[in-house]
Structure formats: structure tokens, C-alpha cells
Amino acid sequence: MKSHIWRPLYVVIGIVALILIARQFIVPKEFGVHERGYMYGWHNKADETFWKEFKVKYKSSEYCKDCHSDNYSSIKKTPHAIIQCENCHGPAIDHPENPAKLEINRSREQCLRCHLYLPYEQSDRSKIRGIDPEKHNAGIECAACHNPHNPNAGHKGHKHSHAEVK
């Protein structure tokens, strides 16, 4: 064969050899090693201790239900039952050790994340009751009139404009 075929072949073989040699120095020895032998994947056995000690940021509604059973039981009977507590109240990473860390976002923007009217008839998003924030009690926090833990209970007696879109 001519040398124009062998030279690129030698280059490719050299690159593969360099990659295999570099892999020996870069990849940790315990990477991919398990009790059953070597397994492909991104598991590093040495990181197991780190992940066992890792503090979980979000805890789910199950974490909240024992201390906040009144809110938990009322919200579970409403359309908001599918929403995790931390979607509105923030991550419970340091709660109850530091209850002040768990802030309650009462802003209109918080509620408008789901309740801003979007005309997408072909999606499930159109099934959520939406409002026009310019016309529906502009400038007032939603929680002033609506109880997010029991949205089916009606209004809290405040003046309510009927500017619902749906």
C-alpha cells in the first residue's frame, strides 16, 4: 500500500492510544466499579458518602403534612392538591430548624404563574381558571381575597371585580 494510506492510519492509532493512556490517569479507579464488578455508567463509588450526607433542598408535601395538617387536609380537597407546598412556600431545606428561612410568597406574580389567562385551547393549560391581571383587582395580593389552601371556599368578603376570563 501507498504511504498516503498508512500515515492517516498511524495517526488514528496514535490518537486512540493517547486517549486510552490518558483515561488511565484521568478516570478514578473506583469509577463504574460496584459489588457485581465493572458497570458502565456515570456512577462513582467514592461519591456515595457525599450523596448520603447531601441535604435535600425540596422535601415534598408529605414532609409538611404532620405539622401543618390543617392546611394539608384542606388543600388536598381542592384543585391545588396537585401542587407541592414548596411551589408556593419555597424549599424546605432548613425548615423546621429555621422556620424564618421558609418565606411565603404572597405576590400576585406567584399566583399568576398558573392563573394568568393563556388561550391555549389544545392544552390542559386552558383548563386552569385564568384572570386578566389588569382588570381583576389590580394591585391587590390574591391572598387578600382568595385562600390558596382552600380556593373553592369563595372570597374573603373583599370587593371583587368579576374580570375573570374563564
Put simply, whether the predicted model's pTM sits higher than 0.75 gets the answer no
pLDDT digits (tens, 9 = 90+) for 109-130: 888 888 888 877 777 777 788 8
Which 3 state secondary structure label does DSSP give 166? coil
Q: Which distant-in-sequence residues (6+ apart) come within 8 Å of 165 by Cβ? A: 117, 130, 131, 132
Query: Do 118 and 130 meet the contact criterion of CB atoms below 8 Å apart?
Result: yes
pLDDT digits (tens, 9 = 90+) for 132-152: 888 888 888 888 888 888 887
